[in-house]
């Protein structure tokens, strides 16, 4: 698995290229619009395709190329490429909502700025 041959590498390369292309250009599910978003999906898709066979198993022994099982590789490539875009969008939303502060929150005193709060005694 670690020391794969060129045929296995090329098989995963093509599978991840197809998965990244379908998600980025076909479904238009993206966080980065340019070629950098496509390349990020391609790289992450290759990693997902590489890990998929050991994790998901060896499905349909007749459907393998250079020792790489095609169906688990496609599932791994699609799922990791999709999750990369999904997590990027979720983090961007979270960061955007963290920057927005409501007027009530801006006026409310924080716990650190409260003065004269009674101290708690430990027995």
pLDDT per residue as tens digits for the range 40-80: 999 999 999 999 988 988 888 888 888 889 999 999 999 99
Which residues have a Cβ under 8 Å from the Cβ of 22 and sit 6 or more positions away? 78
Domain count, the chain: 1
Average pLDDT, integer, range 80-95: 90
Instruction: Let me know if residue 112 belongs to a domain.
Output: no
Instruction: Let me know if residue 77 belongs to a domain.
Output: yes
Give the range of the structural domain holding residue 50, as residue numbers without chain letter: 6-100
Instruction: Let me know if residue 105 belongs to a domain.
Output: no
Instruction: Let me know if residue 106 belongs to a domain.
Output: no
Instruction: Let me know if residue 51 belongs to a domain.
Output: yes
Q: Is residue 17 within 8 Å of 46, Cβ to Cβ?
A: no
Q: Is residue 69 within 8 Å of 53, Cβ to Cβ?
A: yes
If pLDDT is split at 50, 70 and 90, which confidence band does 16 have? very high
Asked if the model's pLDDT at residue 107 lies above 80, the reply is: no
Let me know if 41 is exposed, middle or buried by CB neighbors in 10 A (0-12, 13-18, 19+).
buried
Instruction: Let me know if residue 1 belongs to a domain.
Output: no
In angstroms, rounded to a whole number, what is the distance separating the alpha carbons of residues 13 and 43? 9
Instruction: Let me know if residue 22 belongs to a domain.
Output: yes
Instruction: Let me know if residue 81 belongs to a domain.
Output: yes
């Amino acid at each position: 698995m670690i020391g794969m041959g060129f045929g296995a590498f090329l098989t995963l390369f093509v599978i991840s290229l197809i998965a990244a292309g379908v998600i980025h250009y076909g479904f238009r599910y993206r966080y980065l619009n340019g070629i950098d978003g496509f390349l990020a999906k391609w790289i992450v898709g290759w990693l997902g395709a590489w890990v998929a066979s050991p994790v998901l198993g060896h499905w349909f022994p007749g459907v393998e190329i250079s020792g790489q099982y095609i169906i688990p590789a496609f599932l791994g490539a699609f799922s990791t490429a999709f999750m990369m875009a999904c997590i990027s969008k979720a983090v961007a939303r979270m960061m955007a909502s963290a920057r927005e502060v409501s007027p009530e929150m801006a006026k409310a005193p924080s716990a650190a700025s409260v003065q004269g709060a009674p101290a708690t005694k430990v027995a």
